[in-house]
Chains A and B, each alone.
Chain A
Amino acid sequence: MAQEAHGAIYDLLAVRGVSRRDFLKYCSYVAAMLGLSEAAAPQIAAAVEKGAKLKPALWINGGSCTGCTESMAQVDSPDVATVVLEILSINAFETIMAAAGHDAEKNIADTVAAGGYLLIYEGSVMTGEDGNTLLVNGHKGTDILEEVAAGADAILAVGACAVDGGWVYAHPNPAKAIGVQSFLDTVNIKTPVVNLPCCPTSPEWIVAMVVQWLLVAEDDPATFLAKTKLRTRTYRDTVTGRDVTLNYPEYVIGSTIHDNCPRRGHFENGHFVTEFGSEEEAKGYCLYKVGCKGPQTFTQCPITRWNRSVSWCVQSGAPCIGCGGLNWVDNNTPFFKRLSSMQMGDTLGNVQPGSVAAVVGGVAAAALVAHGLGMKAAGRIGPDGPPVETAKAYDRKRMAKKGGDK
């Protein structure tokens, strides 16, 4: 039913140098990510076409480095992903929109007033100093998020920062940065949030979720949630002190990087890179020993990859630093060590678990040797062993108390 996809969108695409063939190819790619067969590509194309000018969206930046925007805009020429997102009718996108100042604010206010929009939120929610750690034109970032989140149909929290605060959340977190879901929990806003992890997030995951909305939601958040395969993870937010439950798309966090890694064969064979710049590295051996966190990181990076699926971190020779996890900086530093360091406060600094274990084992061994020498010195070790008491100390005391004989 490829014929269903036609009309104005193809003119739009043609202007941007994207052929109809390219577009359908992309749609089948998105279909694969959503777990659909390639036959769903025409429906996706149709949904995208129908979505044109229908679904308003806001892209709001919180405490972010705009890295996710950069990830989204990484392409050197207008890309199908860009077009798909443009037909989403994004009414505000601070980093790339032409409007500025009053016009930009009006765009946001108008969209919120009209309602029925998707919110894409990038960056952490900075709650420190009563929200004054992030001010946009005199408005607190937290107030802006509250305003745009309450009226949204659904929220895509894009990037590790929007998920749980990301690296901004890492110790000592003076800005008291938290994730979108955590913040909405504290202000009691029930708008559904779908989290897309990683630093930055993958543009393809955003596109896949937007297409998912256009395909199944029928403009109803409840339907969207019911028909989208989600997986939840729970964590304790140390800033708010609450347990936060996050929704992720199943296709993003369903398996570990390790399980889909192109270097997995070298791992099983026991071929490892021990230092960078070595012969082993040139051979493309496994990066486990130089600190790869792939076995502990649940994302499908090896499948979608980055930069139009050209490559991704591990393929390009860098160990995974685990940016798809929760509290990922504290949990995964040092990046080039197998285990993360334990944070032991200001005096002891950060300590590797292996060092702690070696000290414990060493102390135990030394204590046993010392004890053995003590046993010898006390004369307890001999053919007959030490003298054994004839009655328990407890019984002797009790008897004495009762006035009986010892």
Chain B
Amino acid sequence: MAGSAHYREAHPLVFVITHWINLICMIMLAFSGFYIHYPFFDGFMGVARGMHFVAMYVILINLTFRIIAAFFVKTAVDLGSREVDTDIKNWLPQEKNRHQFFETVKYYLFLRKEAVISAKYGSLQKIAYLATVPLTYLMAYTGFAIYGPTMNWGFFAGGVDMVGGPMNMRIIHYFMMWVFIVFTMIHAYLANVYNFSPSKIIFAWKETEH
């Protein structure tokens, strides 16, 4: 956020790398997914499928690693702070986030003038970042349910029956990709709305003072 410094303690190198991996995998998954959904040029289906499956495994491993690392790596406790604590504590809601959800919504809807007090991340931000975890696993579930080698496993076949067949599962998988696309749009917008310092620290690991 404008006004705060962006130090490396906010995003240690390991999370800069996992963020890069997430970004690259997401782009590969969305692109190859669109291609598999409707091949808009010839000669790429085998590669698109291979890309989709490789990126899928990488992003799942990366996500699982990111969650485990959250319990061991220390990150900044607040905006513009060099004081660190275990990352999971800063990822889950902090004391400063209490009672701030509706105030944050009001701020972004222009219903109040002053920006709200927030912890390392604001209330909305934390909800979004936490939701990506189950969403990614759910996305993987819907994908495995229509993936040749696993679609006949009872765990996935049961889900296919529940939603009324593999065609419906495909459509859910397709719409969920749009959830990620819209998330990414909002995420990139809100992160950089004041200035590009957040991008500098998360992509280039470059510190800024405001």
**Residues of chain B with a CB closer than 8 A to A272's CB:** 39, 42
List the A side residues contacting B170 at CB < 8 Å. Answer: 296, 339
Contact flag A378-B45 (CB < 8 Å), given A296-B170, A325-B165, A338-B37: no
Other-chain contact of A368, B3, B189, B194 (Cβ < 8 Å): B189
A17 within 8 A of B: no
Docked complex Cα distance between A382 and B194 (Å): 7
- Asked whether A296 and B167 contact (CB < 8 A) given A234-B161, A364-B186, the answer is yes
Q: Is the interface of A mostly helix, strand, loop or mixed?
A: mixed
B130 within 8 A of A: no
**Interface residues, chain B, with chain A CB atoms under 8 Å away:** 1-3, 37-39, 41-46, 48-49, 98-100, 103, 108, 110, 112-117, 146, 148, 151-152, 157-158, 161-162, 164-168, 170-171, 174-175, 178, 181-182, 185-186, 189, 193-194, 210
B74 to chain A, nearest CB (A): 25
B167 touches A368 (CB 8 A): no
Q: Return 15 A-B CB contacts under 8 Å, by A number.
A: A234-B158, A234-B162, A256-B151, A271-B43, A288-B39, A331-B167, A353-B171, A356-B175, A371-B189, A381-B2, A381-B193, A385-B1, A386-B115, A388-B116, A393-B103
Residues of B within 8 A of A276 (CB): none
A174: interface (CB < 8 Å): no
Which residues on the B side are within 8 Å of A380 (C-beta)? 115, 194
Say how far B197's CB is from chain A's closest CB, in angstroms: 11
The answer for the CA separation of A356 and B1 in the assembled complex, in Å, is 34
Q: Please, how many angstroms separate the alpha-carbon atoms of A27 and B75 in the complex?
A: 71
Which of chain A's residues have a CB closer than 8 A to the CB of B171?
A: 339-340, 342, 353
A234 neighbours in B (Cβ, 8 Å):
158, 161-162
Please indicate which of the listed interface residues B113, B151, B167, B182 has the most CB atoms of chain A within 10 Å of its own CB: B167
Whether the Cβ atoms of A331 and B174 lie closer than 8 Å is no
- List the A residue with the shortest CB-CB distance to B99: A394
Beyond A289-B39, A326-B165, A361-B182, whether A389 also contacts B174 by CB under 8 A is: no
Q: Which of A233, A339, A381, A392 contacts B174 (CB 8 A)?
A: A339
Asked if B186 and A387 make an inter-chain contact with CB atoms under 8 angstroms apart, the answer reads: no
A378 vs B171: C-alpha distance when bound (angstroms): 40
The docked-state distance in angstroms from the alpha carbon of A374 to that of B1 is: 17
Chain B residue numbers with a CB within 8 Å of A378 are: 110, 113
CA A336 to CA B86, docked complex, whole Å: 54
Q: How far is the CA of A295 from the CA of B145 in the complex (A)?
A: 12
Contacts of A182 in B (CB 8 A): none
Per the bound structure, the CA–CA distance linking A374 and B107 in Å amounts to: 12
Question: A296, B146: Cβ atoms under 8 Å?
Answer: yes
Q: Mark A322-351, 1 if CB is under 8 A from B, else 0.
A: 100111000110000011101000000000
Which residues of chain A are near B99, meaning CB under 8 Å?
Answer: 392-395
Is the CB of A306 closer than 8 A to any CB of chain B?
no
Choice from B46, B157, B164, B182 contacting A326 with Cβ under 8 Å: B164
Minimum CB distance partner of B116 in chain A: A389
Do the beta carbons of B167 and A259 come within 8 Å of each other? no
The answer to whether A270 and B43 touch across the interface, beta carbons within 8 angstroms, is yes
Beyond A331-B165, A371-B189, A378-B113, 4 additional contacts (C-beta under 8 Å) are A293-B167, A295-B166, A353-B174, A394-B103
- Say whether B189 contacts A372, CB under 8 Å: yes
CB A282 to nearest CB in B, in angstroms, measures 16
Judge if A405 is at the interface, Cβ distance under 8 Å. no
What's the nearest-Cβ distance from chain A to residue B30, in Å? 11
Cβ < 8 Å to B, chain A residues 206-244 = 233-236
Q: How far is the CB of B170 from chain A (nearest CB, A)?
A: 7
A365-B185, A372-B193 known; A387-B115 Cβ under 8 A: yes
Contact residue among B1, B152, B166, B189 (Cβ-Cβ distance under 8 Å from A325): B166
